[in-house]
């Protein structure tokens, strides 16, 4: 395997390090389809603030009255009033525009929040890491033959179908590109557990003659990098037996 040879060369660049054993195994990765409601959060523009303050302090029945007061083209006022009504910052009560509690709150903060269309994303959950991994479905490769399963898979975690909402929200938020009008994910509509994929990992037991230590490196093919979490698990469970077995 070319990947294995490349990693072995990389590990042995230090002349004090010797590879005692190499092996491979699979970790399960659960696909989760998440439906969520994002919002766009931005600094409230001056005209919107002026409109809300005007409606807070006086009675206005229509766009024309607001346009005359603020000396702004009625079309601009109409667009903004329509938007503010749609996102429930204002409402008409007894024929006059009034701020809703949501409108009062956003005006006080100077922040405008607009609810966006519901979206769907696919996340990859690893029971071995108890975390969403920073990878997408496109990173999952198809293999004709797979090595044996990882020996420390928690079977209960592998069958898990309910996921921590805070973990899902954080993963979704990390996928969003930062911008001046920030897209925020605050509400999960649903999270459906889908299929499990097996992801190969390459394990190397190493001996550093200079430091007189036996240690492990694990390459995660989904993340395409060394996996410190799996290395830590193996070290906790097996380090004593490595010394007995290889030294």
DSSP 58-117: S---SHHHHHHHHT--HHHHHHHHHHHHHTTSEEEETTEEEE-HHHHHHHHHTEEEEE--
Taking 90 as the threshold, does the pLDDT of residue 215 lie above it?
yes
Q: Which two tokens stand for residue 224?
A: 């395409």
Q: What is the dihedral of CA 85, 91, 96, 97, to 10 degrees?
A: -50
Taking 90 as the threshold, does the pLDDT of residue 35 lie above it?
yes
- Nearest to 30, CA basis, from 218, 139, 161: 161
Q: How far apart are alpha carbons 31 and 33 in whole angstroms?
A: 7
Kind of pairing between the strands at 182-208 and 90-93: unpaired
Longest dimension (CA), the chain: 89
Kind plus residue range of the DSSP H or E element containing 124 = strand 119-126
DSSP secondary structure letter of residue 113: E
Taking 60 as the threshold, does the pLDDT of residue 48 lie above it?
yes
Which of the four pLDDT bands, split at 50, 70 and 90, describes residue 61? confident
Residue, of 154 and 106, whose pLDDT is higher: 106
Taking 60 as the threshold, does the pLDDT of residue 180 lie above it?
no
What the chain holds in terms of domains, given with CATH numbers, is: 2-37+118-246 (no CATH), 45-109 (1.10.10.10)
Contact 231, 242 (CB under 8 A): no
Kind plus residue range of the DSSP H or E element containing 68 = helix 63-70
Q: How far apart are alpha carbons 64 and 70 in whole angstroms?
A: 10
The pLDDT assigned to 60 comes to 85
């Amino acid at each position: 395997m070319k990947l294995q040879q490349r990693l072995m060369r990389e590990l042995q660049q230090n002349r004090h390090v010797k590879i005692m054993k190499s092996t491979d195994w699979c970790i399960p990765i659960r696909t989760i389809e998440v439906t969520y409601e994002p919002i766009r959060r931005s600094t409230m523009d001056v005209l919107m603030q002026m409109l809300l303050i005007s409606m807070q302090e006086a009675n206005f029945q229509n766009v024309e009255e607001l346009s005359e007061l603020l000396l702004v083209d009625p079309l601009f006022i109409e667009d903004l009033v329509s938007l503010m009504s749609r996102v429930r910052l204002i409402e008409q009560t007894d024929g006059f525009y009034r701020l809703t509690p949501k409108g009062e709150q956003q005006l006080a903060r100077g922040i405008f929040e607009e609810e966006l269309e519901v979206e769907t994303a696919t996340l990859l959950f690893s029971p071995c890491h108890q975390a969403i991994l920073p990878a997408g479905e496109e990173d999952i490769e198809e293999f004709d033959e797979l090595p044996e399963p990882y020996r420390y898979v928690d079977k209960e975690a592998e069958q898990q179908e309910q996921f921590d909402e805070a973990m899902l929200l954080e993963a979704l938020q990390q996928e969003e590109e930062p911008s001046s009008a920030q897209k925020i994910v605050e509400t999960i509509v649903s999270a459906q557990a889908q299929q499990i994929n097996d992801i190969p990992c390459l394990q190397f037991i190493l001996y550093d003659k200079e430091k007189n230590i036996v240690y492990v490196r694990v390459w995660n093919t989904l993340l395409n990098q060394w996996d410190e979490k799996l290395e830590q698990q193996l070290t906790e469970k097996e380090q004593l037996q490595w010394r007995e077995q290889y030294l």
